[in-house]
Amino acid sequence: MFRLTDVVKHLIIINALVFFGANLLLPQLGIPVDALTLIWPDGREYLVAGSSHTTVSFQPYQLVTHMFMHANFNHILFNMLTLAFLGPAIETQLGSKRFLFYYLSCGVGALLLHLGLGFAGLTHEASVVGASGAVMGIYSAFLLMMPNVTLNLIFPPIPVKAKYLILAFIGMDLFSGLAGHADGIAHWAHLGGVLTGGILIYNWGLAKKFW
pLDDT tens string for the chain (211 positions)?
468 999 999 999 999 999 999 999 999 999 999 999 999 999 999 988 877 788 999 999 999 999 999 999 999 999 999 999 999 999 999 999 999 999 999 999 999 999 999 999 888 888 999 999 999 999 999 999 999 998 887 777 889 999 999 999 999 999 998 888 777 789 999 999 999 999 999 999 999 876 6
Contacts of 106 (CB under 8 A, 6+ apart): 133, 134, 136, 137, 138, 140, 193, 196, 197, 200
Domains contained in the chain, CATH given: 6-203 (1.20.1540.10)
What backbone torsions phi and psi does residue 209 show, to the nearest 5 degrees? -60, 130
| CA angle (124, 14, 138) in 5-degree steps | 60
Predicted pLDDT of residue 1: 45
Query: How far is CA 204 from its chain centroid?
Result: 22
Sign of the CA dihedral with 86 first, then 88, 91, and 93 last: negative
pTM of the model: 0.93
Predicted pLDDT of residue 115: 95
C-alpha distances out from residue 35 to 54, 70, 92, 130, Å: 11, 12, 35, 13
User: Which residues make beta-bridge pairs with 152?
Assistant: 159
